[in-house]
Chain A
Amino acid sequence: MSARRLLDKLWESHEILRREDGTSLLWVDRHLVHEGSHHAFAKIAERGVPVAEPGLTFGVADHYAPTRGGPATDAIARMIATLASNTAKHGITCFGLDDPRQGIVHVIGPEQGLTLPGLLINCGDSHTSTHGAFGALAFGIGATEVAHVLATQTVWQKKPKAMRINVTGRLGPGVGAKDLALAWIAKLGADGARGHAIEYTGPAVCSLSMEGRMTLCNLSIEGGARFGMIAPDETTFAYVKRRPFAPSGDDWDRAGDLWSELPSDADAEFETEVTMDASEIAPIVTWGTTPEDALPVTATIPDPARMQGSAAERARNALDYMGLTPGRNLTEIAVDQVFIGSCTNARIEDLRAAAAVLAGRRAKVPGIVSPGSQLVKRQAEAEGLDRIFIDAGLDWVGSGCSMCVAMNGDHVEPGKRCASTTNRNFRGRQGRGSRTHLMSPAMVAAAAVTGHLTDVRDLLKQREVA
């Protein structure tokens, strides 16, 4: 048999059949739904079909979840209530607002052990690629596909091409998975991995914690890839072990044997190969309105006059929207507020990284810290991280998608500039007219301390001297 990649192994183990035209019907092991799934529930109601596998379907309130007090509007309250009634009606377990397990869908899936190596996971959310960090085949789907999975527990999909992003070397101090992700997206473009499933490999990837791996896989879609994945290893198994829904006893041993077979064969070939050197990556910030508009924080704001054709025009539009002057240092950009949260960067390790910078310091600008789940929140409080954020002057709030997607009422006012640990710096993403700069949790913390974009390595060095 020819050498197989992680993608091939996951695909084959879920392929029910393949049509002559090459489209596969795949079995879905876990289907995660949220408030936005109301369109799909309406579609199956219209047909009068039941949910095929309520036991494989899990609901969670996150996109519209309030982070302070109750729902901000009646419409928001209705979205949360609709999820509760749809899941109850079909006998689906739902982690609602009053459930201590509630949180962002891509945080609680892994946290609960619903996300496991070797599974196929779907959710009506483009950041479902996050779960690929466990060596799972995980991808975001639209409402029609969500309805299809609800009705049949299967999904039609053409196998994507495989891209390997191999990261050699080591990430330097103050540089993390977020920087690595933004670095490759800046290099390849926001559509650079379109049509591909990415497998991240190499020593810099293997040495990432599960939290870091989830951040890296999460951002795959920002480079155009619907799938991102990392082969499972001891780090994966240690994270998964004894999670509430993880296998135990004999099943744990059997699972371990199967999971150990998942990594790509040594001589497997990929349609596209990309190599990067982690030691060359500096902390990265975005300056424009797509995640590909990313540069090392040590750089200057790009000058459209030095660009060609449509790139120049696009940069001009982006800088105009962002209110930035070409040629100035990125570190001169003053921010109005900060946000630490989202499925990209709201796990315990992210909060620790931000707290390490903020400890004993005051934030010069307001901001909110929204833990990725209620369990992350509780753990952070047990570690005293909440005190660090509060003492620094930031708001310590509840868990949900919050200011990343601006659906629950948390938003950035028009023209205001936010240093944010989120995933999209699109126009209006954080609220109409909002100006978003994406960066790592440590970098957001640094921006909070100084009031402008800042190389966190300088703040970490000061700490060493002290």
Chain B
Amino acid sequence: MSGWSTHTGRAVALDRENVDTDQLIPARFMSTPRSEGYGDFLLYDFRNDVYGNPVPDFPLNTVPNASVLISRRNFGSGSSREAAVYALVDFGIRVVIAPSFGDIFASNSVNNGLLPARVSEAEVYTAMATLAGGAKEVTVDLTDKTIRLGNTTIEFTLDDVWQQKLINGWDDIDLTQNHQKAISAFRTRHVAGMPWAIPVQQNDFRSAGRDTVSQ
């Protein structure tokens, strides 16, 4: 994953609360290998009618080259499906701006170079008003955590760890492998203290559930 520190692109408003991950990518598309691309699946049931034809006035259809999405509270709530992030990223979205995000979604975003930028409800309201006349260019700066839209600059909230991760494009597995000694030492200590940390089948599975039968 490559890091980035500033991004300029077109912003589009998705004026809804609780855009959950089932909406971001309906479950029926999730057996597709990532290599085939997930962009077409993004918000599929909003962007397309029941016959699969695009809904012309749906925001993302009006600005197909949008790379910044502004939405309302609790964006990305629900399932842990990282495919929701793949759909956004493969569509071309680099930044989602909202008052709050689902915890797992936010973490998945950062792992894929997508910035979940938190701003206040009032700032979202103002930004959406600015976008009411159509898509506008927006510049997002990760280093000073600001968003420039028209004449206004908004500061966004982002965990410092995530800021560094996005800027540097860090890969966690690489980072963790540097700690292999500490991990091995921990494992030895941990298992000595609680041997059942290593599961060993002690009883016949056929007896499982027996305790609840007698209730």
> Using a CB–CB distance below 8 Å, which chain A residues touch chain B?
13-14, 16-17, 19, 21-23, 25, 27, 29-30, 36, 39, 42, 47, 49, 55-56, 64, 75-76, 78-79, 100-101, 111-114, 116, 118-119, 124-126, 140-145, 147-148, 151-154, 156, 158, 160, 189-191, 194-195, 209, 211, 221, 224-226, 238-239, 241-248, 251, 254-255, 258, 289-290, 310, 314, 317, 348-349, 375-376, 379, 382-383, 405-407, 414, 424, 426-429, 432-433
Q: How far is the CB of A193 from chain B (nearest CB, A)?
A: 9
Partner of B107, one of A145, A243, A429: A145
Partner of A114, one of B28, B73, B199, B211: B199
Cα-based distance from A101 to B80 in the complex (angstroms): 25
**Which residues does chain B contribute within 8 Å of A156, judged by CB atoms?**
172, 175-176
A245 near B183 with CB under 8 A, answer no
**Which residues does chain B contribute within 8 Å of A406, judged by CB atoms?**
27-28
Of all chain B residues, the one with the shortest Cβ separation from A431 is: B28
Cα-based distance from A75 to B31 in the complex (angstroms): 7
Of all chain B residues, the one with the shortest Cβ separation from A29 is: B197
B104 near A226 with CB under 8 A, answer yes
B208 near A111 with CB under 8 A, answer yes
Cα-based distance from A349 to B206 in the complex (angstroms): 19
Cα-based distance from A447 to B192 in the complex (angstroms): 52
Of all chain A residues, the one with the shortest Cβ separation from B197 is: A29
**Which residues does chain B contribute within 8 Å of A47, judged by CB atoms?**
173
A55 near B78 with CB under 8 A, answer no
B residues 64-97 in Cβ contact with A at 8 Å = 72-74, 77-83, 85
A190 near B208 with CB under 8 A, answer no
Number of interchain pairs (Cβ within 8 Å): 225
**Which residues does chain A contribute within 8 Å of B85, judged by CB atoms?**
142
The 10 A-B residue pairs whose C-beta atoms are closest, nearest first, are A142-B108, A247-B196, A144-B111, A143-B82, A142-B82, A191-B74, A126-B80, A140-B80, A245-B199, A426-B22
B202 near A248 with CB under 8 A, answer yes
Q: How far is the CB of A400 from chain B (nearest CB, A)?
A: 13
**Which residues does chain A contribute within 8 Å of B111, judged by CB atoms?**
142, 144-145
**Which residues does chain B contribute within 8 Å of A317, judged by CB atoms?**
16
**Which residues does chain B contribute within 8 Å of A428, judged by CB atoms?**
22-23, 26, 45
A224 near B103 with CB under 8 A, answer yes
Q: How far is the CB of B39 from chain A (nearest CB, A)?
A: 16
Q: How far is the CB of A291 from chain B (nearest CB, A)?
A: 9
Q: Given A144-B108, A158-B161, is A112 in contact with B183 using a C-beta cutoff of 8 Å? A: no
Central interface residue in B103, B190, B203, by most chain A CB within 10 Å:
B103
**Which residues does chain A contribute within 8 Å of B74, judged by CB atoms?**
189-191, 194, 224, 290
A379 near B213 with CB under 8 A, answer yes
Of all chain A residues, the one with the shortest Cβ separation from B109 is: A142
> Using a CB–CB distance below 8 Å, which chain B residues touch chain A?
16-18, 20, 22-23, 26-28, 30-31, 33-34, 45, 50, 72-74, 77-83, 85, 100, 102-104, 107-108, 111-112, 159-161, 164, 172-173, 175-177, 179, 182-183, 186-187, 190, 194-213, 215
**Which residues does chain A contribute within 8 Å of B198, judged by CB atoms?**
55-56
Cα-based distance from A317 to B19 in the complex (angstroms): 13
Q: How far is the CB of A77 from chain B (nearest CB, A)?
A: 10
Q: How far is the CB of A317 from chain B (nearest CB, A)?
A: 7
**Which residues does chain A contribute within 8 Å of B196, judged by CB atoms?**
116, 246-247, 251, 255
A119 near B177 with CB under 8 A, answer no
Partner of A101, one of B33, B183, B203, B205: B205
Q: How far is the CB of A50 from chain B (nearest CB, A)?
A: 12
A224 near B203 with CB under 8 A, answer no
